[in-house]
A and B are shown apart, each in its own frame.
Chain A
Amino acid sequence: MTAVMGTPMLRKEDGKLLTGEGKFVDDIHVPGELWMGMVRSPHAKATITSIDASGALAMPGVQAVHTGPDLADMGLWIAPLPCAWPVTPDMLNPPHFPVASGEVHHVGEIVAVVLADSRYGAADAIDEVVVHYDSLPAAASVAEARDGDVLAHSDLDTNKAYHWPLVPDPDALDAAFAGADVVVAADFVQQRLIPTAMEPRGVLAVPSPHGGDITLYSATQVPHILKVMAAATTGIPENQIRIIAPAVGGGFGAKLNINPDEILALTLANKLGRAVRWTESRSEAAGSTHQGRGQLQHIELAADSNGKLQGVRVHVDADMGAYMMLITPGVPLLGSFLYTGVYDVPAFGFTCDGYFTNMTPTDAYRGAGRPEASYAIERAMDLLALEVGVGPDEIRRRNYINGGEAFENHEAASTLVFDSGHYGPSLDRALEMADYEGLRAEQSRRREAGDKVQLGIGMCTYVEICGLAPSRALGGLGYGAGGWEHATVRMLPTGKVEVVSGSTPHGQGHETAWSQIIADKMGVSPHDVTVLHSDTAMSPLGLDTYGSRSLAVGGVAIAMAADKVVEKARLIAAHQFEAAPEDVQFENGSFSVAGSPSSSVHIQELGFAAFAAHDLPDGIEPNLQEQVSFDPPNFAFPFGTHVAVVEVDEDTGGVKLTGYFAVDDCGNQVNPLIVEGQVHGGIVQGAAQALFEEAAYDDEGNITNPSLMDYLVPSTMEMPSMKLDSTTTPSTTNPLGVKGVGEAGTIGSAAAVINAVCDALSPHGISDLEMPASPQRVWNAINRASGNGEGGAS
């Protein structure tokens, strides 16, 4: 049998999803269910002076309207919504309850919840709940929060939530800058982004008033974490809570949280003995689901006259939004270790201040901290190249770890150990695919001709940290849980295989990839494998899917459990052959005795023997089932080089992405088709940050573009056909040699695209542009550069 791992097998789950057989939360209904309708604050900061629900309560079908104080009196929870990552012991963490009492802190914060017989009834009733507010000045940007004149929370005397330093050797860092020939300093803005999963969030809580247990269906990435946190927040015993994440249509981190609606549905259903549900609308999501990014970055590079890096110093002011959600404060830390990028940097220092603002809370969004880091270092490297007078490819080559040659276990100045890397070939290959020389020639031609449409070429060699995470490392960073993953593999009596996965797919294709791993490990057809997941009753142990961890942690656990099943089966086979186990070989699913290959037994035939248990070796338990909790010894560090090509229309400021070339290295690939899909989507999300997307807030803290009409998620029409390739540098962190690829595309692409735009505009002396590089911004920049007063502020 030929290997199944490494082949582009079509995804097993797609038939179901594409034909509508997949059941999402909103597809699941139970009799007697009530709809929640959220009355949300229209103010970024205000005191609630009164709430009159009488009009709503008089409407047919409206069962109840609860305010924050009501709910507190009802005793529905024993703790505020959780933040699992107190990054410093003295971090400020104002209590965040599902429904506000007294003061509201962002537009969209829930001030009352309506319970009605129908979704339409709930929506009508929302309009009839009269809330009076005394509006207060709001901290409507992180810069304003840092200035501190306006407090995001009236009962805190500062907006600064924490200060977190990572400066392993301050003296070395100072010396590096003191001795540098060249210092480049730059400031970048990571605008807020709205994670836009295809499926909005939704919940359905179904109690069994007589049985005492309760099931919560949620469009979540983290059913296991939700279960623990729901118990800790509500006081409902953990053993009575079952969480099911049915088909989930994307998450990108936005479904990695413990949300007010989840806790409300759970507790209200439990209290009333009736099912309670809610589905967010797209515009509501801007206030009801966390946002991503939101950082002001300052980066300084110290280098010698050849552009060889001596030190990197970074400070980040991070926008927490109104509250600390599950991992809000930790997101910048996930990036902190990556501000030296793929480079050999002797000295490094990073500091971060987290600030509360009166905007929707931020939290993980595809890449979580790492796209920000990669953007800063890769933009700054282009500035260094300009300063030193070499090309962007050359400045990178001069600084790659180990001169661009292959390496293992590189200890970076940030103190992390990079498992493996080989950066030179990824740049070589990307430039070759892009026809870099040809592009530069075309660029010169257009410049000389004074063409109104100029060409820009940008590159980025990124590295990322994934496979979250070694539990000890997480503990060291103050994170509240571990980073292991659990898997169970069982052979059924008829020879079919069931895999119970603790990782929780929401579009990634785990059912296919896990089947491929089993196929290779056990010598069975991938179609004989079923993957069970996303239901805490079926898969009680797990830490879910985020941080590109599913394969590098969960997939490895599955492979290890499969190995254990094979080992147990070997004992049974040896018993049947009346041979010593060490003389029994296993190949393509069949056991045979070395030297007499004619008599063999397939592992699938042993399923029944193990089940019937009529004739097992002494001391061997019935059934073929093994489980593994794998805790990785280190992170995995995928990398790659992306090259973006843009055309900039200097008359309109319009930017068109005309070419995209990416060479990614995620170690050994289980399914290249899935890898490609992840890279494609990731690139689009990064390009979206570079050119299109921004959650725009006005001075009062109102989001001005909450609908998809104004929040510009790009489509295939805005993207060129992407050309992809890969190199393979196996990870040393796990036995499969795999890394992770869920976030890589996003981590590489924003910098590549902006580098390309700046490259196109460099004849104007423009070296930086804020994201998104909208036509108006580009046009303004050209105007300003040419001393033309016409362009307004960008």
Chain B
Amino acid sequence: MIPAPVEYTRAGSAEEAISLLTEHGDEAKLLAGGHSLLPMMKLRLATPAQLIDVGRLDELRYINADNGEVAIGALTRHTELEHSDVLADACPLLKHVASLVGDPSVRHRGTLGGTLAHADPASDLPAAVLALGGTLVAQGPNGRREIAATDFFASYFESVLAADELLVEVRVPSGGGGWNYQKFNRRAQDWAIVGVAVADGGKGIALVNMGATPLRATAVEAALAGGASAAEAAAVAAEGTSPVEDGNADATYRKHLARVLTERALNAAG
């Protein structure tokens, strides 16, 4: 409830944020929407010595469709995705998934970059970006680099971002075939017990909360590519997964849910 002592600085630009990161090293944490970091600080599960607030970097808040791609600034709030006309045309999956994150107050604070960098395997938007085959753009002291979503997530709450890197942009392909997102939880505002994102008619499928990172359901994708029906393909949805066990679900049940939800998502995506 009461965070440990911490210094706070607001960055006026991406460059300033990166130089502050370089200066403070491991002691520092970027603060975006704060809706993952601050709860952890209040419980003293995270005790950074220095916060670098990037929440007001409005130049990193945008949604632009161009050249068959949508480019989204990392500081774009979930609510902006949820209500975006650009996404309605170009990437309705992302818009829809954003609308299912937490509750309205969470969506007004939480950012796309924050939820990706936080790398919680139970989060919704990371799986959507993974299913879409998105690309993440990180900026560090030596400039920008692109990271494929498939390479981005390392483990529980761990991405491949370096300590001095800021996530600045997310790119996803626009258009594509049928899509669907299945989120199974007990209360509307909760994280998914299991979730399944289907993009582009089943060419990209990602699982929420089925392992240490959001996972591509590669076995399902391969089965579909080989002509399997939705039911047949969904039957292999739990292959290669090792889901957590918690008060809501044991691993057996999570695997079962992955199969059920994958079939539903594939059928709904058409």
Contact surface of A with B, Cβ cutoff 8 Å:
119-120, 123-124, 127, 281-284, 651-654, 691-692, 696, 704-705, 707, 709-710, 712, 714-715, 717-718, 774-776, 779-780, 790-792
Option from A119, A714, A780, A791 in Cβ contact (under 8 Å) with B2: A119
A-contact bits for B185-215, CB 8 A (1 contact / 0 none): 0111110010000000000000000000000
A646 to nearest B CB, angstroms?
A: 14
Q: Are A715 and B247 in contact (CB under 8 A)?
A: no
With A283-B1, A704-B247 given, is the CB distance from A712 to B260 under 8 Å? no
C-alpha spacing A654/B261, complex, angstroms: 12
Q: Are B5 and A124 in contact (CB under 8 A)?
A: yes
B184 closest partner in A (C-beta): A652
Q: Are A776 and B1 in contact (CB under 8 A)?
A: no
When distances are taken between beta carbons in the complex, the residues of chain B under 8 Å from A704 are 247
A-contact bits for B228-257, CB 8 A (1 contact / 0 none): 000000000000000000111110110011
When distances are taken between beta carbons in the complex, the residues of chain A under 8 Å from B1 are 123, 281-284
B255 closest partner in A (C-beta): A790
C-alpha spacing A282/B42, complex, angstroms: 11
B246 to nearest A CB, angstroms?
A: 8
Q: Are B189 and A717 in contact (CB under 8 A)?
A: yes
Q: A281-B1, A691-B186, A791-B253 are in contact. List 4 more A-B contacts (CB 8 A).
A: A127-B4, A282-B1, A774-B186, A775-B184
Tell me, yes or no, whether B43 is within 8 Å of chain A by CB: yes
Option from B4, B188, B256 in Cβ contact (under 8 Å) with A124: B4
With A704-B247, A715-B188, A718-B187 given, is the CB distance from A776 to B2 under 8 Å? no
C-alpha spacing A790/B259, complex, angstroms: 14
Q: Are A712 and B187 in contact (CB under 8 A)?
A: yes
When distances are taken between beta carbons in the complex, the residues of chain A under 8 Å from B249 are 775-776
C-alpha spacing A140/B250, complex, angstroms: 21
With A120-B2, A124-B5, A774-B248 given, is the CB distance from A714 to B43 under 8 Å? no
B182 closest partner in A (C-beta): A652
5 closest residue pairs by CB, A with B: A281-B1, A123-B2, A717-B188, A651-B260, A776-B253
A789 to nearest B CB, angstroms?
A: 10
Q: Are A707 and B248 in contact (CB under 8 A)?
A: no
Selected A-B contacts with CB under 8 Å, 20 pairs: A120-B2, A124-B5, A127-B44, A281-B2, A282-B1, A283-B1, A652-B184, A653-B253, A692-B186, A712-B186, A712-B187, A715-B187, A715-B188, A718-B187, A775-B193, A776-B249, A776-B250, A776-B253, A780-B253, A792-B252
A689 to nearest B CB, angstroms?
A: 14
B38 to nearest A CB, angstroms?
A: 13
When distances are taken between beta carbons in the complex, the residues of chain A under 8 Å from B193 are 775
When distances are taken between beta carbons in the complex, the residues of chain A under 8 Å from B248 are 774-776
Q: Are A790 and B5 in contact (CB under 8 A)?
A: no
Q: Are A715 and B189 in contact (CB under 8 A)?
A: yes
Option from B187, B247, B257 in Cβ contact (under 8 Å) with A696: B247
Option from A127, A654, A717, A780 in Cβ contact (under 8 Å) with B184: A654
B186 closest partner in A (C-beta): A712
A46 to nearest B CB, angstroms?
A: 22
Q: Are B256 and A779 in contact (CB under 8 A)?
A: yes
C-alpha spacing A127/B3, complex, angstroms: 12
Within 8 A of A (CB), among B70-124: none
When distances are taken between beta carbons in the complex, the residues of chain B under 8 Å from A124 are 2, 4-5
A780 closest partner in B (C-beta): B253
Q: Are B187 and A714 in contact (CB under 8 A)?
A: yes
A16 to nearest B CB, angstroms?
A: 24
B191 to nearest A CB, angstroms?
A: 8
When distances are taken between beta carbons in the complex, the residues of chain A under 8 Å from B260 are 651-652
With A119-B2, A283-B1, A692-B186 given, is the CB distance from A790 to B43 under 8 Å? no
Q: Are B2 and A710 in contact (CB under 8 A)?
A: no
C-alpha spacing A651/B194, complex, angstroms: 14
When distances are taken between beta carbons in the complex, the residues of chain A under 8 Å from B2 are 119-120, 123-124, 281
B44 closest partner in A (C-beta): A127
B188 closest partner in A (C-beta): A717
A611 to nearest B CB, angstroms?
A: 51
B194 closest partner in A (C-beta): A652
Number of A-B contacts defined by CB within 8 Å: 70
When distances are taken between beta carbons in the complex, the residues of chain B under 8 Å from A791 are 252-253
A131 to nearest B CB, angstroms?
A: 17
Contact surface of B with A, Cβ cutoff 8 Å:
1-2, 4-5, 39, 43-44, 184, 186-190, 193, 246-250, 252-253, 256-257, 260-261
Option from B39, B188, B247, B261 in Cβ contact (under 8 Å) with A710: B247
Q: Which of A123, A691, A790 has the most CB of B within 10 A?
A: A123
Q: Are B247 and A705 in contact (CB under 8 A)?
A: yes
When distances are taken between beta carbons in the complex, the residues of chain A under 8 Å from B187 are 692, 712, 714-715, 717-718
When distances are taken between beta carbons in the complex, the residues of chain B under 8 Å from A776 are 248-250, 253
B263 closest partner in A (C-beta): A651
A705 to nearest B CB, angstroms?
A: 6
B253 to nearest A CB, angstroms?
A: 5
A780 to nearest B CB, angstroms?
A: 8
Q: Which of A284, A652, A692, A717 has the most CB of B within 10 A?
A: A652
When distances are taken between beta carbons in the complex, the residues of chain B under 8 Å from A779 are 253, 256
Q: Are A652 and B186 in contact (CB under 8 A)?
A: no
When distances are taken between beta carbons in the complex, the residues of chain A under 8 Å from B39 are 709
B4 closest partner in A (C-beta): A124
C-alpha spacing A181/B193, complex, angstroms: 47
When distances are taken between beta carbons in the complex, the residues of chain A under 8 Å from B250 are 776, 792
C-alpha spacing A779/B184, complex, angstroms: 14
A81 to nearest B CB, angstroms?
A: 24
A123 to nearest B CB, angstroms?
A: 4
When distances are taken between beta carbons in the complex, the residues of chain A under 8 Å from B188 are 715, 717-718
Q: Which of B4, B44, B250, B252 has the most CB of A within 10 A?
A: B252
Q: Are B256 and A790 in contact (CB under 8 A)?
A: yes
When distances are taken between beta carbons in the complex, the residues of chain A under 8 Å from B43 are 283, 707
C-alpha spacing A791/B250, complex, angstroms: 10
When distances are taken between beta carbons in the complex, the residues of chain B under 8 Å from A780 are 253
Q: Are A790 and B184 in contact (CB under 8 A)?
A: no
When distances are taken between beta carbons in the complex, the residues of chain B under 8 Å from A709 are 39, 190
C-alpha spacing A692/B260, complex, angstroms: 22
B253 closest partner in A (C-beta): A776
C-alpha spacing A792/B253, complex, angstroms: 8
C-alpha spacing A518/B261, complex, angstroms: 59
C-alpha spacing A753/B184, complex, angstroms: 21
B109 to nearest A CB, angstroms?
A: 16
C-alpha spacing A283/B186, complex, angstroms: 21
When distances are taken between beta carbons in the complex, the residues of chain A under 8 Å from B247 are 696, 704-705, 710
C-alpha spacing A792/B257, complex, angstroms: 14
C-alpha spacing A779/B253, complex, angstroms: 8
When distances are taken between beta carbons in the complex, the residues of chain A under 8 Å from B5 are 120, 124
C-alpha spacing A513/B2, complex, angstroms: 39
B191 closest partner in A (C-beta): A709
B251 closest partner in A (C-beta): A792
When distances are taken between beta carbons in the complex, the residues of chain B under 8 Å from A775 are 184, 186, 193, 248-249, 253
A321 to nearest B CB, angstroms?
A: 20
C-alpha spacing A52/B44, complex, angstroms: 21
C-alpha spacing A707/B122, complex, angstroms: 17
When distances are taken between beta carbons in the complex, the residues of chain B under 8 Å from A774 are 186, 248
Q: Are A790 and B4 in contact (CB under 8 A)?
A: no
C-alpha spacing A707/B42, complex, angstroms: 12
B110 to nearest A CB, angstroms?
A: 15
When distances are taken between beta carbons in the complex, the residues of chain A under 8 Å from B257 are 652
When distances are taken between beta carbons in the complex, the residues of chain B under 8 Å from A654 are 184, 186
C-alpha spacing A779/B261, complex, angstroms: 14
When distances are taken between beta carbons in the complex, the residues of chain B under 8 Å from A714 are 187
A195 to nearest B CB, angstroms?
A: 18
B249 to nearest A CB, angstroms?
A: 5
B11 to nearest A CB, angstroms?
A: 25
C-alpha spacing A653/B187, complex, angstroms: 14
When distances are taken between beta carbons in the complex, the residues of chain B under 8 Å from A284 are 1
When distances are taken between beta carbons in the complex, the residues of chain A under 8 Å from B44 are 127
When distances are taken between beta carbons in the complex, the residues of chain A under 8 Å from B256 are 779, 790
When distances are taken between beta carbons in the complex, the residues of chain A under 8 Å from B190 are 709, 712
